[in-house]
Amino acid sequence: MTTADLDDVLIAEAELHPFPWTRGNFADSLAAGHGAFVAQEDDAMVAYAVTSQVMDEAHLLNISVIADRQRAGRGRRFMQHLLAAAKAQGGRRMFLEVRSSNQPAYRLYQRSGFIEIGRRKAYYPAHQGREDAIVMARDL
Ligand SMILES: CC(C)(COP(=O)(O)OP(=O)(O)OC[C@H]1O[C@@H](n2cnc3c(N)ncnc32)[C@H](O)[C@@H]1OP(=O)(O)O)[C@@H](O)C(=O)NCCC(=O)NCCS
């Protein structure tokens, strides 16, 4: 992902997430040197993701597949790429947080080898009140 991708990313982000990242959030990640990826098919973006890594600990911050391309294995394939990229950077373990209501993401993570290691109560803002985060991790 580069700044040239951000217009496409922001359109998808607004559609896919109840509390979308802002342009500034993505720009900060790019400036910080986070892992930032887009997947393209026929020159069109179909998925994007952001990871961060400190020493051997990687974090998945965002993974999204555009709505009309979901449920066809792209999320799983993209995840394999992110896991391999983190490992190639010296990562030994990847962590993530997921909204407790986000069943598609939870399933993707389970199918990709992540296991639940904890919960953060009322971690996310929700449209009514707040929502728990499920913390998951897997070895690389
Ligand atoms: C989560 C997301 C990335 C999955 O992408 P995808 O390309 O649809 O995922 P895949 O087709 O590779 O499916 C991966 C697994 O998740 C399951 N899954 C995907 N969508 C699902 C849904 N709507 N309901 C239940 N399970 C679902 C699939 O069944 C699959 O497991 P299986 O093939 O073993 O049955 C996609 O739904 C998305 O972008 N959601 C909006 C953004 C988001 O919430 N991102 C995560 C938090 S940052």
Structure confidence at residue 18 (pLDDT): 92
Structure confidence at residue 68 (pLDDT): 97
Structure confidence at residue 133 (pLDDT): 97
Q: Which atom of ligand 1 is nearest to the CA of 71?
A: 11
- In sequence order, what are the beta bridge partners of 65? 47
Quote the tokens at residue 123.
């971690």
| CA-to-CA dists, residue 18 to 73, 83, 127, 137, angstroms | 23, 25, 8, 23
Ligand 1 pocket, 107 CB below 6 A? yes
Ligand 1 pocket, 73 CB below 6 A? yes
CATH code assigned at 13: 3.40.630.30
Residues in the chain, pLDDT under 70: none
Domain that holds residue 9: 3-139
Structure confidence at residue 106 (pLDDT): 98
Q: Per the structure, how many domains does the chain have?
A: 1
Report pLDDT digits (tens) over 19-53: 999 999 999 999 999 999 999 999 999 999 999 99
